[in-house]
Amino acid sequence: MKKSLPDSPNLEVLTEPRYLLAEKQLASIPLWEPKKKTGKGQSPREKTVGFTTVVKGNPIKVTIKVLSGGNYEFPNTTDLDFFRAIEQVATEQIQRQGTLNNPICFKGHQILATASKSPSGQSYKELRRCLSKLNALSFEVVRTDGKRERVWGFHIFNSVYQEGEKKSDGSVAEYNEVELASWYWKSLQAGNCLVIDHDLFQRLKLSLSKLLHQFLHAQFYFHHGVATGWYAELAHNWGMKEYSALSRIKQQLDPSHKELRRMGFLESWEYLPFTRSGKKSYQVSWKAGAQWWDILQVQKQQIGRDGDEGGDHLLFLGEPAEEGAGGEEGKEGLLINILDLVGHGDKKYLPFWKQAIRDLPRSVISKQMGDLRERIADGEKIRNKGAYLMKLFRVEAKKRELPWAESK
């Protein structure tokens, strides 16, 4: 069945929607960038992004440091295409059996078909790189609630075995096996999700349209159909060139604005001039279109929630924060993350992990864990993950002239 929405000029005719569930806090993080040409073998990268969410009716400022593992760049819109396809597979499994298996298992051709990609060698290569890239990705969170500040780290995936890869038990993976981080899996199971029309997303042609759709979907949900954002922050978060002239800003953003309006997702947008730190800046404001409001109704019917609850169910912003990110309980949480990676049965290095957690910054620990994940995902044979990670930590300790850097 096809439908069109009234009172929207030049509105594109919409096909029957195909819905997927996107974990709502992950959906709010601007970690994706436009696809662009990059050289191979580049150094690990990190960037800091900020956004505001709502917890129990109160605005909460959240700052997240995004750390790309190994030599990978940040996820781009091609990776987002594949990630949406994985979310579609997860959604269908939840709808079919009422629960989500962890790890999620799928064939490469299944994801390519779901992402509407051709079954070419290049597409399979991009999928493999996407899985490795997301597996190596890590995050460090700073949450400011009034005068109280908390810090901790998290991942999206705990592990990834790709088709044909030798697993730790010696067997060969018949499927792609993606083990979700426990917070992510629990959040999907609990229904802490946004409902997204996957068909509409796939019909977007422009990279910035996909990024705006990703960003605005969450912002409209949290702010009841309206959203605002500083242009400078958008440019920074998405790795785009930042312009000062309004005419150039419009050239950069308006083609995507117009595409989203044709889809009915966006009703209007406006550029508001401000002076910040003595410099002229622009804030962009958006209003949701009829298609987004239709999706909100589906959200209420399928999950039983509208935008009023805001971020009351933040698992990576709530539960880990309650454990504390600077005290002994927060350190215990980081220790669990290390043991999840190297194996809970390997307690030989337990005193060393505790020492490293006490003395090294969380961002350093997260980055080195990401490096190990990336090497494993690339098929490198690492017989003793604990010893390998210990070596990485010692290198960082030596840079800081810590006394245990050379100890045996």
Q: Which pLDDT belongs to residue 120?
A: 92
Per-residue pLDDT, 46: 79
pLDDT attached to residue 135: 87
Helix (H) / strand (E) containing 281 = strand 279-288
Give me the pLDDT at residue 387, please. 85
- How confident is the model at residue 11, as a pLDDT? 42
Name the residue among 369, 352, 400, 359 with its Cα closest to residue 140: 369
Residue 53's pLDDT is 62
The ranges of the chain with pLDDT < 50 are 1-15, 40-41, 43-44, 304-315, 318-330
Whole-angstrom distance, CA of residue 192 vs CA of residue 8: 31
- Terminal alpha carbon distance of the chain: 69
> 343 vs 171, 234, 286, CA distance in Å?
18, 39, 47
CB atoms within 10 A of CB 334: 22
Q: Which of 206, 257, 262 is nearest to 231 (CA)?
A: 257
Q: How far apart are CA 157 and CA 180, in angstroms?
A: 4
Q: Dihedral sign, CA of 296, 302, 306, 310?
A: negative
**Residue 257 has what pLDDT?**
97
pLDDT of residue 333: 61
H-type alpha helices, 58-177: 77-97, 108-114, 121-136
Q: pTM value?
A: 0.71
pLDDT at 344: 63
Neighbours of 49 (CB within 10 A): 17
pLDDT at 17: 65
What is the CB neighbour count within 10 angstroms for residue 179? 17
